[in-house]
């Protein structure tokens, strides 16, 4: 005989147990009595099995069949939540595409991932200190914090209160909370700097301005969207008229989180919020942010990735449950990615699945309770509790019973499985989005990210990145205070650099000023007093491809003197062969007499001709003389003034060709026919013109700076004739010598000028050229160190020594991958023991100084391009600029900055920048070759121009 036992009790539920017992009524009674005596808290019923175990086997089979069918239906319901690695890679790639769209000016307006600039351009470096107030608004609770930051220590003390927030009269309520907090802390009379964590999408124009794009997370306060939330807060404070605050920054909670963790770990450059809402921010290179002016440094970008997929790009992975949740939300069709990943919606997704399974008879005996029908009844906190590994099924049943759901153990298993599928998908989608950002960071740096612990999903989706996850213990409110502190610190640094940050409006104004100077320099009436001399060069054509012959070129313009032999031949096509020798020009010769200088040049030329075995030949010679000269013919150059540290006496006001001829004749061991004297800028234009006949501008950006261009003869009052064109050597280094740049010159520019060999002259050159750039940086660093903003206020004798910080150091420090290491190395050689933050600040100073140089050169070049376009009477100018100079060639960022700013300032010009690989010496040979081709020697002696 078989008995089934059914037991119930207050403390436990035990499933039915089947026992085989002897066929004895006395035995059964004794068994019943002992069981009830041993477990008095249980109500036990003994049921006699009359069909035996055979029927049980059939029932077991039936149950297994039912469970298999049930399992199949459950798997089908949860299958859309199981994302393959291939699918996640696809999501990552789509997110990456949307990130790029959001950064580009032409696609940002239509991008779903808005990539909002935050104007947070630095992370904490440990030097921040002081008391700061922080507000944190982003959910049902509003926090006010007083944060005390102690300088030099990566810790802070803070106090906070929580206040329930209502959407009615929102900002008046916030100010009431602030007033209560200030009263409680006893600081109502203090005007503290304030950071405002506002956890909703805002479009920012500066760090203290944030226009609300749209409410999220259930907020619907009226009259806020499209308004500046900082202005609204200030206005509410003004209405209350009880206290005042200095609102320094408004930030997203994601940015606040990144800053909070960045205070503990300087490597932290990504902030992730995975809570009621979902969002990410990260530090992006400025050069990649087209929607903000500027190319240097970094800025934190608030991605607002919750809207990813609003354009339908992830509809293939959205389930019917996601669509039901979206349709029932306050903002249907929006924030689709957030609705699949954030805590505000996960519980509701689970509820929709449970209803669907119950309707299919797979849960709760097919009975949909009234509680399960209520939207929002299944909160995300229940999902977290049910998923806990430490929670037994019986406890899961209790949670479900608290929700009014009468569940079995099987129901508990299924519910736990549903919760796991929903939350796992959320984590995977979030991980795929994060992988897109991590990969972008790696590509920006060009190296692996220096972070440590990796999740398995990120390891597969971004295998070349090593990522540490750091939990923000103090929340985003503390981050707002830290951003405020950083903004204050950067403000103290930037006050020295503010005057060097030139807006496009200022650059366009400088461009207009230089255009006026060009006009004055070309006029016979105004030229004598014009700062920009606009010197005629008597070069009226670039090479046309028919030149040939054997030529010598001399190139004098710095501490090194170069001599070239240039052979131009026509066999199958025009070819140029060059051999050259470089000779040193000692300092004592540069500063000695003119006779010594040209004797040295003649000696070097004799040595070169000896080595080339051409002393018995009288080859045509072109002389690149890279100093301002007034010419009345091609082979005459009257030096106006020395530049670039040259001070040889007896040369200013003299013809340099005559001085060189005299030195050669005095030697008597060789002869030379000096057919042309040209500026290095003209030589650069002619060198590039040999390769590209559209080249009509020459530009030098090196130790010094200058430009030349092909001007219409009808505009040149200084030379007779109206037909054709002539190359004009602008000598723009003297731009500003008449005071026209005083409003943009800084105290550091004036100090450079006072300490130079030619005070009051070449002022534009002293603001932009390589000879002065390193010294400009040094003066700024000394000033900042004296103010205690760098090197803990320590100033070494080396740092105080003029010329110790060279322009080549600026170039090294601005290299994208190794710049900070180079900064530390260079500063250490100067006797400074810099911190990591000092190196960042020094790199920032170098960037500002070199960027100003590129911007100013772009503005003056823009004036020349506008002149060319107007001369030609075309709507869009197509031209080539030949460029040479060590600053342009060697500085890692300079060329790109110059090109970008030029195209921005002169948008109706299509400009090609062509680097002069052979230098300006070859250009002197090309000028000579043109003259030689034209057989114009007799005319040259009579002062006419070389023309085609």
Active-site positions read 562, 626, 680
The conformation of residue 228, written as its DSSP 8-state character, comes to B
At 204 the three-state DSSP class reads strand
Residue 440 token pair: 């972008």
Spatial CA neighbour of 774 closest among 885, 899, 887? 887
Please state, in angstroms and rounded to a whole number, the distance separating the CA atoms of residues 522 and 527. Answer: 6
Q: Work out the burial of residue 807: count CB atoms within 10 Å of its CB; fewer than 13 is exposed, 13-18 middle, 19 or more buried.
A: buried
| CA-to-CA dists, residue 794 to 494, 766, 832, 838, angstroms | 20, 28, 8, 12
DSSP 63-127: HHHHHHHHHHHHHHHHGGG---HHHHHHHHHHHHHHHHHHHSTTTGGG-SS--EE--------S-
Q: If you count them, how many residues does the chain have? A: 948
- Do residues 366 and 435 touch, judged by C-beta distance below 8 A? no
In DSSP terms, 673 is beta-bridged to 620
CA distances 693 to 541, 553, 686, 687, 880, Å, are 10, 21, 9, 10, 8
d(CA 329, CA 315): 17
How close are the terminal C-alpha atoms of the chain, in Å? 126
Phi, psi (degrees; rounded to nearest 5) at 302: -90, 105
Q: What is d(CA 914, CA 685) in angstroms, rounded to the nearest whole number?
A: 9
Q: Are 396 and 410 in contact (CB under 8 A)?
A: no
Rounded Cα gap, residues 579 and 737, in angstroms: 40
Task: Report d(CA 354, CA 321) in Å as an integer.
Answer: 10
CA distance 240 to 526: 63
Instruction: Determine which helix (DSSP H) or strand (DSSP E) holds 897, and give its type and residue range.
Output: helix 894-905
CA-to-CA dists, residue 670 to 286, 403, 618, 822, 928, angstroms: 58, 108, 8, 49, 19
Strands 209-212 and 202-206: antiparallel
Choose among 325, 313, 347, 323: nearest CA to 422: 347
Phi and psi at residue 553, in whole multiples of 5°? -130, 130
C-alpha to C-alpha distances, 491 to 231, 486, 863, nearest whole angstrom:
21, 8, 33
Strands (E) across 139-185 are located at 141-149, 156-164
> Among 582, 576, 541, 544, which residue's Cα sits nearest to residue 562?
582
Q: Are 899 and 505 in contact (CB under 8 A)?
A: no
Please provide the DSSP assignment of 703-758 as one string. SSEEEEEEEEGGG-TTSS--SSEEEEE--GGGTTTTSTTTTT--HHHHHHHHTSSS
């Amino acid at each position: 005989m078989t008995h089934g036992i059914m037991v119930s009790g207050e403390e436990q539920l035990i499933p039915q147990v089947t026992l085989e017992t002897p066929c004895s009524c006395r035995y059964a009674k004794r068994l019943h009595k002992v069981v009830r005596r041993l477990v008095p808290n249980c109500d036990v019923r003994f049921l006699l099995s009359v069909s035996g175990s055979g029927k049980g086997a059939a029932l077991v089979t039936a149950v297994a069949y039912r469970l298999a069918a049930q399992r199949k239906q459950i798997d089908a319901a949860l299958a859309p939540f199981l994302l393959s690695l291939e699918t996640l890679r696809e999501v990552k790639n789509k997110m990456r595409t949307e990130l790029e769209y959001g950064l580009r000016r032409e696609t940002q307006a239509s991008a779903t991932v808005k990539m909002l600039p935050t104007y947070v351009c630095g992370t904490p470096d440990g030097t921040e200190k002081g008391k700061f107030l922080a507000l944190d608004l982003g959910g049902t609770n509003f926090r006010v914090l007083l944060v005390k930051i102690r300088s030099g220590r990566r810790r802070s003390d803070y106090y906070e209160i929580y206040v329930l927030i209502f959407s009615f009269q929102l900002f008046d309520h916030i100010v009431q909370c602030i007033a209560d907090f200030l009263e409680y802390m006893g600081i109502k009379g203090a005007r503290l700097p304030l950071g405002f964590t506002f956890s909703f999408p805002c479009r920012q124009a500066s760090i203290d301005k944030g226009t609300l794009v749209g409410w999220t997370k259930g907020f619907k306060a009226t009259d806020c969207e499209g308004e500046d939330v900082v202005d609204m807060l200030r206005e509410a404070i003004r209405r209350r008229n009880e206290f005042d605050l200095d609102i320094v920054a408004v930030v997203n909670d994601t940015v606040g989180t990144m800053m909070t963790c960045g205070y503990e770990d300087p490597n932290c450059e990504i902030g992730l919020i995975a809570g009621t809402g979902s969002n990410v921010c990260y530090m992006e290179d400025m050069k990649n942010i087209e929607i903000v002016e500027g190319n240097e440094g970094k800025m934190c970008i608030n991605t607002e990735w919750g809207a990813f997929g609003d354009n339908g790009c992830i509809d293939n992975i959205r389930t019917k449950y996601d669509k039901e949740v979206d349709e029932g939300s306050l903002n249907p069709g929006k924030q689709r990615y957030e609705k699949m990943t954030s805590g505000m919606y996960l519980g509701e997704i689970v509820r929709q699945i449970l209803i669907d399974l119950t309707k299919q008879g797979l849960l709760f005996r097919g009975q949909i309770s009234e509680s399960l029908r209520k939207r929002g009844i299944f909160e995300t906190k229940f999902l977290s509790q049910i998923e806990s590994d430490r929670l037994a099924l019986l406890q899961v049943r209790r949670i479900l019973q608290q929700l009014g759901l009468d569940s079995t153990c099987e129901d508990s298993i299924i519910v736990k499985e549903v919760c796991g599928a929903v939350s796992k998908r959320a984590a995977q989608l979030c991980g795929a989005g994060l992988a897109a950002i991590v990969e972008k960071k790696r590509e920006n740096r060009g190296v692996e990210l220096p972070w440590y612990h990796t999740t398995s999903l990120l390891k597969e989706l971004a295998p070349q990145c090593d990522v540490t996850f750091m939990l923000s213990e103090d929340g985003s409110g503390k981050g707002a205070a830290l951003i405020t502190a950083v903004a204050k610190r950067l403000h103290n640094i930037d006050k020295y650099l503010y005057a060097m940050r030139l807006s496009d409006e200022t650059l366009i104004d400088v461009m207009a000023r230089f255009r006026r100077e060009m006009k004055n320099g070309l006029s016979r009436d105004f030229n004598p007093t014009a700062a920009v001399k606009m010197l005629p060069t008597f070069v009226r054509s670039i090479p046309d491809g028919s030149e040939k012959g054997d030529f010598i070129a001399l190139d004098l313009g710095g501490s090194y003197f170069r001599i070239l032999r240039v052979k131009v031949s026509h066999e199958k096509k025009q070819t140029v062969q060059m051999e050259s020798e470089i000779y040193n020009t000692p300092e004592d010769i540069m500063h000695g007499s003119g006779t010594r200088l040209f004797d040295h040049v003649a000696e070097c030329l004799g040595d070169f001709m000896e080595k080339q075995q051409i002393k018995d030949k009288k080859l045509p010679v072109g002389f690149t003389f890279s100093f301002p000269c007034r010419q009345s013919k091609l082979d005459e150059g009257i030096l106006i003034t020395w530049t670039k540290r040259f001070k040889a006496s007896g040369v200013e006001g003299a013809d340099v060709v005559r001085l060189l001829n005299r030195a050669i004749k005095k030697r008597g061991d060789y002869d030379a026919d000096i057919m042309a004297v040209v500026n290095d800028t003209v030589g650069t234009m002619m060198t590039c013109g040999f390769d590209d006949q559209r080249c009509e501008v020459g530009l030098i950006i090196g130790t010094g700076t200058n430009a030349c261009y092909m001007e219409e003869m009808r505009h040149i009052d200084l030379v007779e004739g109206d037909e054709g064109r002539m190359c004009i050597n602008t000598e723009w280094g003297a731009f500003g010598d008449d005071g026209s740049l005083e409003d943009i010159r800084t105290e550091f520019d004036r100090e450079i000028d006072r300490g130079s060999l030619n005070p009051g002259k070449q002022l534009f050159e002293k603001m932009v050229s390589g000879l002065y750039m390193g010294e400009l940086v040094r003066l700024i660093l000394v000033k900042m160190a004296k103010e205690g903003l760098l090197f803990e206020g320590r100033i070494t004798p080396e740092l105080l020594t003029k010329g110790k910080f060279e322009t080549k150091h600026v170039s090294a420090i601005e290299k994208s991958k190794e710049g900070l290491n180079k900064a530390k190395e260079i500063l250490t050689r100067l006797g400074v023991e810099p911190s990591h933050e000092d190196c960042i600040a020094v790199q920032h100073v170098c960037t500002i100084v070199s960027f100003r140089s590129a911007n100013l050169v772009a503005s003056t070049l823009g004036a020349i391009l506008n002149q060319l376009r107007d001369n030609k009477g075309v709507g869009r100018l197509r031209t080539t600029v030949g460029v040479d100079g060590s600053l342009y060639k060697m500085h890692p960022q300079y060329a790109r900055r110059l090109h970008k700013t030029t195209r921005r300032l002169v948008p109706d010009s299509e400009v090609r920048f062509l680097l002069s690989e052979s230098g300006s010496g070859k250009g002197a040979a090309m000028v000579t070759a043109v003259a030689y081709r034209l057989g114009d020697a007799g005319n040259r002696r009579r002062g006419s121009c070389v023309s085609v």
